[in-house]
Amino acid sequence: MKIKLAKEDIESSKIQLIERVSGEEMRRCYQCGKCSAGCPVSFAMELPPSQVMRFLQLGRVDEVMKANSMWTCVGCLQCYARCPQGVSVAAVLEALRQIVLRKGTDHERIKDVPFPFMKSAPQQAIVCGFRKFVS
Amino acid sequence: MTMKIPYYPGCTLNTVAKGFDATAREAALKIGFEMEELKLWNCCGATFPLTPDNLIALSAPAKVLSNARKEGDTVTTLCSVCYNVLKRTNKVIKDDKEKRGVINGFIDSEYDGSLSVLHYLEVLRDKIGFARLKEAVKRPLKGIKAATYYGCMLLRPFEDIGIDDAEKPTIFENMLSALGATPVDFPNKIECCGAHLAMNNTDVVEKLSGNVMTSAVDNGAELIVTSCPLCQYNLEKSQKRLIEERPGYTGVPVVYFTQVLGLAIGADINTLGFEKNEYSIMPLLHRKGIVAGED
Ligand code: SF4
Ligand code: SF4
């Protein structure tokens, strides 16, 4: 596959927004893959953490926005704990969620959350779930 | 005079995890301190925002801290998530003057981050001491192989939490040893249980929590001990699938550390909330001769 690198893509306003919200600089990632190795949900992500970083380094925001990675991240911070560069992919994924949610688009509809879960789950799961998935 | 420790229960301990709260208060009294509930508190938000620009999400925990500061200079929690959220928020307010101003503006306060946020385990280790705890043991948990499950929130990120080594923590094991149990080390003790994905992705939760359970059990665990109501919930729920899929797997009790603490220091067995657990601890206690009776 041919990869075209263009300044207007890798420094696009979308990338700048992700960098501003997440507080992370994409280029600091040197693609060692330790985040993906440590991430407990890599197996379920369409793009594991290190690939999210790579796609963003290449300016390919749309593919990253389409992938399920941001919604499957559990926020466990293993990626950050293991990253030799001190990058928090967790912050990048949360920034992506925030960018979606701040536009008022919900990922989860409250009425679709299963009733047995609402009845028996610890309150913290409900509060946290709403914060992560609902605008 | 009994040492009084200001205490923030949080929402879950006031509702579905009441036993976690009650056993902790009771154990404290037996050991020689009192958990004094804050007069005014609200939900901490149960999530520390992972992006630095999301300051509005810090207003709920900041309000808790600001009110707690009016009652003393420390606040203690039991739930790992409350602990994580309060401790990290406190650090932001203390270290970052600009953010402090913004957050205080949201909640109409002048809080400066001068509170010290403690986990109950830290109180046991640093204020009571595990040696003294050992002396308080009346019903040693002899012969019980207990796996201590830390999960994420009690440990990470290390520079903000710092309760113990983030990769090889031992605070939980040391507490269990003081109670007479045999701690079981296992690879997944600091891995996530699946957390809030319990809301919409039970597949991932069952896989993650299932990995924690099998990793513990394969290393000999007969009991799982934790400090987070969501971990407790996910680890219990995930076992249904394990029972279906793993021949010979019959389910392992998952309890709060305060329940075994109470058990060891001689609390009435009927006050420990064990009946709420999906997989009962009683057969294990009978088998080990810790509580008289039969399965
Ligand atoms: S661990 Fe850090 S440097 Fe390595 S691939 Fe992940 S984000 Fe990049
Ligand atoms: S915080 Fe998210 S991306 Fe990072 S290791 Fe955990 S699940 Fe994976």
Are A128 and B16 a contacting pair at CB < 8 A? Answer: no
Residue A134 pLDDT: 92
Q: Mean pLDDT over residues A22-36, rounded?
A: 98
Q: Which of B120, B153, B173 is the last residue of a domain?
A: B120
Tell me, yes or no, whether B99 lies in a domain.
yes
The DSSP secondary-structure symbol of A4 reads -
B148 and B48 part of one domain: no
Shared domain for B214 and B244, answered yes or no, is yes
| Confidence at B201, pLDDT banded by 50, 70, 90 | very high
Question: Which of B165, B197, B214 to mutate: most A Cβ within 10 Å?
Answer: B197
The single residue listed with the structure tokens 């606040």 is B75
Question: Both B35 and B162 in a single domain?
Answer: no
Ligand 2 site, residue A73, Cβ cutoff 6 A:
yes
Question: What is the separation of C-alpha A16 from the centre of its chain, rounded to a whole number of angstroms?
Answer: 15
Instruction: Pick the residue of A112, A124, A126 with the most B CBs within 10 A to test the interface with B by mutation.
Output: A124
In a domain, B270, yes or no: yes
CB of A44 shorter than 6 A to ligand 2:
no
- The answer to whether residues B195 and B280 belong to one domain is yes
Domain-ending residue, one of B93, B120, B147: B120
* Residue A2: predicted pLDDT: 83
The count of structural domains within chain B is: 2
CA of A49 to the centre of ligand 2 (A): 7
Q: Write out the two tokens for B158.
A: 């290390």
Return the domain boundaries, chain A: 7-103, 107-135
Do B151 and B20 belong to one domain? no
Examine residue B162 and state whether it is found in any structural domain, yes or no: yes
Do B143 and B115 belong to one domain? no
The mean-pLDDT minimum among A25-39, A118-132, B57-71, B219-233 falls in A118-132
Lowest mean per-residue pLDDT among B41-55, B116-130, B231-245, B281-295? B281-295
Of B49, B167, B199, Cβ closest to residue A117: B199
Is there a contact between B79 and A124 if contact means CB atoms under 8 Å apart? Answer: yes
The range of the structural domain enclosing residue B109 comes to 3-120
Q: What share of chain B has pLDDT > 90, as a percent?
A: 97
* CATH number, position B263: 3.40.50.11810
Residue B151 and residue B107 in one domain = no
Answer yes or no: do B257 and B209 share one domain. yes
Q: Do B156 and A78 touch (CB under 8 A)?
A: yes
Domain boundary among B87, B120, B153: B120
Amino acid at B276: K
Number of H helices, E strands in chain A: 10, 0
Residue B128 located in a structural domain: no
Same domain, B52 and B96: yes
Residues B146 and B283 occupy one common structural domain:
yes
Which CATH architecture group holds A7-103? Orthogonal Bundle (1.10)
pLDDT at A49 over 80: yes
Claim: this prediction has a pTM higher than 0.90: yes
Tell me whether 0.85 is exceeded by the ipTM: yes
Q: Model confidence over B207-257: pLDDT tens digits?
A: 999 999 999 999 999 999 999 999 999 999 999 999 999 999 999 999 999
Q: Give the CATH number, domain containing residue B96.
A: 1.20.1050.140
- Amino acid B295: pLDDT: 65
Show the tokens assigned to A117: 């879960």
Please give the full DSSP string across chain B, using - where no structure is assigned.
Answer: -PEEEEE---HHHHTTTHHHHHHHHHHHHHHTEEEEE-SS-----S---SSTT-GGGGHHHHHHHHHHHTT-SEEEE-SHHHHHHHHHHHHHHHH-HHHHHHHHHHHT----S--EEEEHHHIIIIII-HHHHHHT-SS--TT-EEEE--TTTTT-SHHHH-SS-SSS--HHHHHHHHTT-EEE--GGGGS---GGGGGT-HHHHHHHHHHHHHHHHHTT-SEEEES-HHHHHHHHHTHHHHHHHSTT-----EEEHHHHHHHHTT--GGGS-GGGSSS-SHHHHHHTTSS-S--
